[in-house]
Amino acid sequence: MTQDKRILITEVALRDGSHAIAHQYTVDQVSKVAKALDEANIPYIEVSHGDGLAGSSLQYGLSRTHELELIEAAVAVCRQARIAVLLLPGIGTMEELRQAANLGVKMARIATHVTEADVSAQHIALTKELGLEAVGFLMMSHMAPVEKLVEQAKLMESYGADTVYVVDSAGALLPHEVKERIRALRQHLGIPIGFHAHNNLSLAMANTLVAIEEGATRIDGSVRCLGAGAGNTQTEVLIAVLERLGLSTGVDLYKMMDLAEEIVAPILQVPQEITRDSLVMGYAGVYSSFLLHAKRAAQKFNIDSRDILIELGRRKVVGGQEDMIVDVAAEIAKSRQEPAVR
């Protein structure tokens, strides 16, 4: 593997990991994790509700602590790391973006469904006006053909994005699919390419390495694999692998190992592993943050959560349609109670 440029890591456990703990982060937890990441020389740390700024709601999950408090806490303890936020247009607004910038955030990742980049234009423009680094974040990238992905990425570039990410929100992409997507973007864009993986098919590391091999230089990881579904590419493991490959990240491997073991592990409610539910999410191509919602709906209606996830995949339900999870569960339960027609 050859790579001339340094790989820049964005640590997402304080955002994507929020899904895994039902958005229950405290100020103390965020302060400790962010401080340790900063001391390990992680360049970017993403902090917000799992569904981005203003995500705290009955539909997406209520936060224990207001995200602006968490962002402020993270900014306060970091000496070199830049704090980033995620914003999904339609959930977060321009006002939340301004508030985050006022707190000291340095990067905003504007996330849309892979076919809806056009809704990011004003948010990317404001990000630049505020003096922040702007990242286009194309979610559920497995749901669009390569040509469509290129078209949408070029739109984000035209709006002023400094980087565009291929986001495998469902952990559904296979290595050859990552390869063709990153390669196509490198051929058609003049800005850095990023990659965000989920581990639902146990391919996060493999897919990340393929992305880097094809020229991606902005990579997401979650320490201790703390992320939605089966988690993301495990940051401390990624650092070790990249060092073995002779690729520079500037991150202190020992400090990342210690952070994972001593600070993050106690936060996890259950170990991050590939369960039957997270496996089905990758298999069916379902948004990784649906996991806890599907489990709760399955309990409520006394049905198998895998049936809910498979049906959500069949209907191509995407992030922002969390209300469909309960509807689908109710439909499945009702269909099983109805007497068979003779």
CA distance 159 to 128: 10
287 is in an annotated binding site: yes
CA distance 58 to 90: 15
**Looking at 19, 23, 49, 142, which residue is catalytic?**
19
Name the DSSP class of 86: E
15 is in an annotated binding site: yes
Q: What stretches of the chain show up as alpha helix (H) in DSSP?
A: 17-20, 27-39, 67-77, 94-102, 121-129, 146-159, 175-188, 204-213, 235-244, 253-259, 276-284, 291-301, 305-314, 323-337
CA distance 46 to 235: 13
Q: What stretches of 78-223 show up as alpha helix (H) in DSSP?
A: 94-102, 121-129, 146-159, 175-188, 204-213
- To the query of whether residue 176 is one of the catalytic residues in this protein, the response is no
169 is in an annotated binding site: yes
3-state secondary structure string, 235-246?
HHHHHHHHHHCC
CA distance 1 to 225: 24
Single-letter residue type at 213: E
293 is in an annotated binding site: no
196 is in an annotated binding site: yes
Name the DSSP class of 113: E
Single-letter residue type at 186: R
CB 77 within 8 A of CB 31: yes
Binding-site residue positions for Mn(2+): 16, 196, 198
Binding-site residue positions for substrate: 15-16, 169, 196, 287
Binding-site residue positions: 15-16, 169, 196, 198, 287
Active site residues: 19
